[in-house]
């Protein structure tokens, strides 16, 4: 049985003290190498959950443990800790426009590996692999803001995967994609899981990935 890579223990989170809790006494355990689908209506807390899992927000109560380490505000203030943590978790935002800011698709995919301090040769190899995997070679010199919505999502996903994270967290990755691209994305996620990646997906289209899902969690 695979070990629990991610554990949330009775976390509570609210954005303002006077507001109702977005998450209250919420617990979650995700095994290494598994695929978990998160479903729920808008406002059910899916994006907030992902912000906590990726170290962008911190619960007011409860504990978040990643690979045996408690992820707290104090822990993440240490640059070395933060860098180590973010190497392991890749986050695809719901809107790819939030993620894309480089002048070329090539630079977008290369940005993460460059920030990690990889050699030019290793960066080029990772970018080449991602351009091939996501069928982006013909777009390598294009400006991301000139691309279609589906193309932007492919670039954003390629940029996440270029970091080779252990965990892929995807917020509504199917939104705005045509059927062909949805099927392509499903196959990519199935292959990533088969390679040992841990996949957590928030989606209204859970049926597309149901064959690969180990667990489906409905948030209310």
DSSP string of 68-126, one letter each residue: TEE--HHHHHSHHHHHHHHHHEEEE-SSGGGT--SSSHHHHHHHHHHHTT--HHHHHHH
Query: Residue 37 and residue 165: Cα distance in Å, rounded?
Result: 18
User: Which pTM value belongs to this model?
Assistant: 0.91
Between helices 149-161 and 105-115, what is the axis angle to 10°? Answer: 20
- The token duo for 69 is 């380490």
pLDDT by 10s per residue, the chain, length 220: 568 999 999 999 999 888 889 999 999 999 999 999 999 888 889 999 999 999 999 999 999 999 999 999 999 999 999 989 998 999 999 888 989 999 999 999 999 999 888 999 999 999 999 999 888 999 999 999 999 988 999 999 999 999 999 999 999 998 888 888 888 889 999 999 999 999 999 988 778 888 889 999 999 8
Domain layout of the chain by residue ranges: 4-219
10 is written with which tokens? Answer: 């009775």
Residue identified by tokens 């049985």 is 1
140 within 8 A of 106, measured Cβ to Cβ: yes
Rounded CA separation 188/175 (Å): 16
Per the listing, tokens 């899902």 go with 213
The DSSP output letter for 173 is T
4-219 topology per CATH: Rossmann fold (3.40.50)
Q: How far apart are CA 104 and CA 125, in angstroms?
A: 17
């Amino acid at each position: 049985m695979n070990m629990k890579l991610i554990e949330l223990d009775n976390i509570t989170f609210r954005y303002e003290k006077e507001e109702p809790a977005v998450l209250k006494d919420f617990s979650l355990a995700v095994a290494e190498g598994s695929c978990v689908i998160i479903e729920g209506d808008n406002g059910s807390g899916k994006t907030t959950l992902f912000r906590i899992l990726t170290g962008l927000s911190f619960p007011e109560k409860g504990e978040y443990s990643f690979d045996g380490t408690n992820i707290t505000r104090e822990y993440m203030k240490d640059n070395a800790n933060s860098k180590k943590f973010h190497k392991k978790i890749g986050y695809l935002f719901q809107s790819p426009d939030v993620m894309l800011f480089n002048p070329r698709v090539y630079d977008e995919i290369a940005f993460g590996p460059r920030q990690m301090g990889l050699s030019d040769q290793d960066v080029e190899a990772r970018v080449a692999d991602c351009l091939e995997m996501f069928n982006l070679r013909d777009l390598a010199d294009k400006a991301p803001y000139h691309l279609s919505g589906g193309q932007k999502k492919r670039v954003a996903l390629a940029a996440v995967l270029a970091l080779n994270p252990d965990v892929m967290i995807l917020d509504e990755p199917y939104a705005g994609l045509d059927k062909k691209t949805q099927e392509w994305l499903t196959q990519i996620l199935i292959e990533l899981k088969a390679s040992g990646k841990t996949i957590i997906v928030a989606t209204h289209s859970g049926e597309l990935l149901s064959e690969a899902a180990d667990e489906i969690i409905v948030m209310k």
